């Protein structure tokens, strides 16, 4: 990784040992070179989840193509707000023109405000902050729609059978929009009434879904990780070994959940998720995940890099999608078990577009 030159490069080098969150945060990927390049910071939730690794790679390629100087940083893990705050402070100190961030929670909001007050244009990727106007704009999947698609598909697949549902969410100790939008979207897609759309777990634990009756066995946090998914699923199965529907916040959590299901010897369980990564699409093909909503992190990163360069050069600011408070980068349901009335693509098509690689 090349350390940045010119634009406050000396300051960054002096701070590197103390403030580096991870190896990629210790340097910058330079575009065409030179001090007059537009400088952008990409700050992801972590640098281990394949989704964010793919986003980082997409941003690097876009920066190279656009002649933008890119610095990549990340929290140590999902939920690491302090690490992201430090990365924001570093971007301000470098004099970057803009920040792309997948916020780890509301704890980063004051630092984002400080960056905007300092003149940086801040774009959220993947995860809209709460409130949405914390940033200048968000480029993201419609996470509610992504949840709704897998909920609709699940209801169709059950065909009137009673649903015993495990909800494997992101956090239990903080509120993040991607968490409640996916969970509540799934429930709406199932035809289950929700109460506060920004609160997970406040819906009735028993009742009727679109085609039959349901019971919600558990709402468990996973931190969006495989081991978290497995532990959460083990707790749910201890409450009710007859669970037949598992909603998961993302594909790493889904893989962990499926491993717990397999270890318990439980059969005929529908596992649905959101991500649509290349590995996740393969897991759909292999039957580990039954359906997943595919999102496009490479597109988010590309649009973000291009937008900040355009604004820095005096161009127009991007606009939100009509009827939404963010720019919708699209979503597709991927499954090899199509359901009548629910639009989807199969795993072969999903593999050709996974995370926007096409």
Task: Identify the pLDDT of residue 356.
Answer: 85
Q: What is the pLDDT of residue 45?
A: 96
C-alpha closest to that of 73 among 299, 82, 312, 296: 82
The pLDDT value given to residue 22:
39
Q: Is the pLDDT of residue 167 over 80?
A: yes
User: Rounded to 5 degrees, what are φ and ψ at 125?
Assistant: -115, 140
CA distances from 302 to 62, 189, 230, 324 (A): 5, 30, 33, 20
Q: Do the domains 39-141+298-318 and 143-294+331-352 sit in the same CATH topology, yes or no?
A: yes
Pairing of strands 327-328, 291-294: unpaired
pLDDT confidence of 108, banded at 50, 70, 90? very high
Other beta carbons within 10 Å of 19: 17
pTM score: 0.85
Write the DSSP string, 102-167: ---SGGGHHHHHHHHHTT-EEEEESS--SSGGGSSEEEE--HHHHHHHHHHHHHHHHTT--EEEEE
What proportions of the chain, in percent to the nearest 5, are helix, strand and coil? 45, 20, 40
Q: For 39-141+298-318, CATH number?
A: 3.40.50.2300
3-state class (DSSP) for residue 42:
strand
**pLDDT for 1:** 32
User: Residue 233 above 70 pLDDT?
Assistant: yes
Phi, psi of 101 (to 5 degrees): -145, 140
List 246's β-bridge partners, or say none.
166, 271
Write down the CATH number for the domain with range 143-294+331-352.
Answer: 3.40.50.2300
Domains of the chain: which residue ranges?
39-141+298-318, 143-294+331-352
């Amino acid at each position: 990784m090349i350390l940045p030159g010119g634009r406050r490069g000396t300051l960054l080098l002096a701070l590197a040992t103390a403030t580096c969150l991870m190896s990629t945060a210790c340097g910058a990927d330079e575009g065409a070179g030179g001090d007059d390049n537009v400088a952008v910071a990409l700050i992801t939730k972590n640098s281990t989840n394949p989704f964010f690794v793919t986003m980082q790679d997409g941003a690097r390629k876009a920066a190279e193509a656009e002649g933008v100087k890119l610095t990549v940083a990340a929290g140590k893990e999902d939920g690491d707000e302090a690490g992201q705050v430090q990365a924001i402070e570093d971007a301000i100190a470098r004099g970057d023109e803009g920040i792309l961030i997948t916020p780890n929670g509301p704890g980063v909001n004051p630092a984002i405000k400080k960056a905007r007050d300092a003149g940086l244009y801040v774009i959220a990727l993947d995860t809209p902050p709460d409130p949405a106007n914390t940033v200048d704009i968000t480029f993201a999947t419609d996470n509610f729609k992504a949840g709704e698609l897998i909920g609709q598909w699940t209801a169709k697949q059950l065909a009137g059978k009673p649903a015993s549902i495990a909800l494997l969410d992101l956090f239990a100790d903080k509120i993040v929009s991607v968490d409640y939008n996916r969970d509540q979207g799934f429930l709406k897609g199932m035809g289950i009434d929700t109460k506060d759309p920004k609160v997970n777990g406040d819906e009735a634990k028993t009742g009727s879904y679109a085609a039959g009756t349901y019971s919600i066995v558990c709402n468990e946090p996973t931190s969006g990780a495989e081991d978290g998914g497995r532990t959460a699923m083990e707790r749910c199965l201890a409450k009710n070994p007859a669970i037949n529907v598992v909603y998961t916040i993302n594909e790493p959590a889904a893989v962990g959940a499926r491993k717990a299901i397999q270890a318990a010897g439980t059969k005929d369980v529908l596992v649905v998720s959101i991500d649509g990564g290349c590995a996740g699409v393969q897991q759909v093909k292999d039957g580990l995940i039954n359906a997943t909503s595919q999102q496009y992190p490479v597109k988010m990163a590309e649009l973000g890099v291009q937008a900040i360069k355009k604004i820095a050069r005096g161009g127009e600011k991007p606009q939100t999608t009509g009827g939404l408070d963010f720019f919708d980068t699209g979503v597709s349901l991927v499954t090899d078990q199509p359901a009548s009335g629910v639009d989807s693509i199969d795993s072969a098509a999903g593999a050709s577009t996974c995370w926007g690689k096409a």
